[in-house]
Amino acid sequence: MRVLGIETSCDETGIAVWDAGAGLLGHRLHSQSGIHAAYGGVVPELASRDHIRRVVPLTEQVLADAGLGIDELDGVAATAGPGLMGALLVGLSLGKAFAFGRGLPFLGVHHLEAHLLAPALEDNPPDFPFVALLVSGGHTLLAEVRGLGSYRLLGQSLDDAGGEAFDKTAKLLGLGYPGGPAVARAAANGNPSAFDLPRPMTGKPGLDFSFSGMKTAVLHCRKAGPDPSDEGFVADLCASFQQAMVETLWSKAARALAETGLERLVVAGGVGVNARLREHFASGAAELGAELSFPRPDFCTDNGAMIAYAGGQRLLAGGGDSWDRTAVARWPLDELAPPECIPA
C-alpha cells in the first residue's frame, strides 16, 4: 500500500510517498524560512501563497523521484490541523482533489499525531506504549501513547511553546529567524553556566510547562549586559538558555516516565533537532535504563514523510475516508481516537 503525504500546516511544504512494505519511496521539502526571515516570524498570508506555488511541482518531483505514476498510489493523506488555516487549506484541497480524481481514500491527518509517530520511520522503531515529548514551534506537550490514536495528555505548556521560546530568544538577541538553529549555533561557543536562568515549574509537582518567564529572564540579562554585538556575551547567554530549556524538558520527561511506569520515551518536533538536547536526554535515559527514540533531524521538523506514514497507519488499521474533515486551526491531540474498522 502506497500513500502520498502532503504537509502545508505552517512554513514548510513537505511531500512524500510511503509504502507499507518498502518504507519511504521519496520525500522533498521546500522551506519558506527565506521568505519570513525579513519579518522575524511566519506571515500567514505569505505562507499560503508560497504553498500554492510549490505544492503541485513538489508533488510531481516526488512522484518522479519515486518512479511512480499518479495511478500507482493507494491513498492520499494531508495535514488537516492544527496549523495556519490558509496554509492548511492548500494541502488539504490538493489532497482531496487528487484522491477524488483518482478514486482513492483520503485521510486528513493530525499534525501532532504525525510528529509523534515519526520515529517509526527510522530503523528500530519504538513499540507502543511510550511517553512522547513533543516540542515544536507551536506546541509543547507530554502524552502517554498506548497505540495509534490512543493518546492521554499528561502535560503541556501553559504559555509559549519550547520552540517559540528559542525563536523569541533569538529575536531578542538579534540572531534572526528561525531562532532555534541560530541559538544552537551561537550556544556552541558559549558557557552554559554563565547565567543562572530559571528552570520553570520543575520545583513543583505536575507535568505542565511554562516558558514565557525564561524569555523574560533572557531579556533582563540582555538589558544588564554589554552591547548585544558582543559575541562572547551572546554565546554565553544562548548556551545558558539552551541548557535551562534542555534541563527543564528532561526533568518533566523523566517525571512522566516515573508517573506512567513506562520505559520508552519518544522525542519529536523541531526542538528535537537540538544536539545539546539529544546528548542530555541520551545520558538521562541511559541512567534510568529507558529506551529513547528520536526521528532523524529532518523528520523532527515539519515534513511530508510523517504525514504519509500517519495516514498510511490509519489506512492499514482500517481507518475510513475523512472527506468531511475540514481544516482546523486548533485540534487537541486527545480528541483523536483509534481508527474505526470498516465493518466487513
Residues within the interface to ligand KG4 (CB under 6 A): 10, 136-138, 163-164, 166-167, 178-181, 184, 269-271, 273-274, 301-302
- Smallest distance, Å, CB 320 to ligand KG4? 26
- Smallest distance, Å, CB 112 to ligand KG4? 8
**75, interface contact from ligand KG4, Zn ion, none, CB < 5-8 Å by kind:** none
Tell me: cis bond preceding 129? Omega within 30 of 0 counts. yes
Candidates 302, 307, 309, 312; binder of Zn ion (CB under 5 A) is: 302
**105, interface contact from Zn ion, ligand KG4, none, CB < 5-8 Å by kind:** none
Closest CB to ligand KG4 among 298 and 334? Answer: 298
Report if residue 136 touches Zn ion, rule: CB under 5 A: yes
**Are 130 and 266 contacting, i.e. CB atoms less than 8 angstroms apart?**
yes
**166, interface contact from ligand KG4, Zn ion, none, CB < 5-8 Å by kind:** ligand KG4
* CA gap 148, 167 in Å, rounded: 31
- Smallest distance, Å, CB 286 to Zn ion? 28
- Smallest distance, Å, CB 175 to ligand KG4? 11
Closest CB to ligand KG4 among 9 and 313? Answer: 9
- Smallest distance, Å, CB 105 to ligand KG4? 25
- Smallest distance, Å, CB 312 to ligand KG4? 20
- Letters for 250-289 (x = contact with Zn ion by CB under 5 A, - = none) are ----------------------------------------
- Smallest distance, Å, CB 179 to ligand KG4? 5
Closest CB to ligand KG4 among 146 and 171? Answer: 171
The three grid cell numbers given for residue 250, joined into one nine-digit string: 528532561
**Are 209 and 140 contacting, i.e. CB atoms less than 8 angstroms apart?**
yes
Closest CB to Zn ion among 79 and 293? Answer: 79
From the list 183-191, 301-309, 312-320, 335-343, the region that binds Zn ion by CB under 5 A is 301-309
Closest CB to ligand KG4 among 26 and 269? Answer: 269
* CA gap 267, 257 in Å, rounded: 13
**Are 317 and 26 contacting, i.e. CB atoms less than 8 angstroms apart?**
no
Residue ranges that bind Zn ion, judged by CB under 5 A: 136, 302
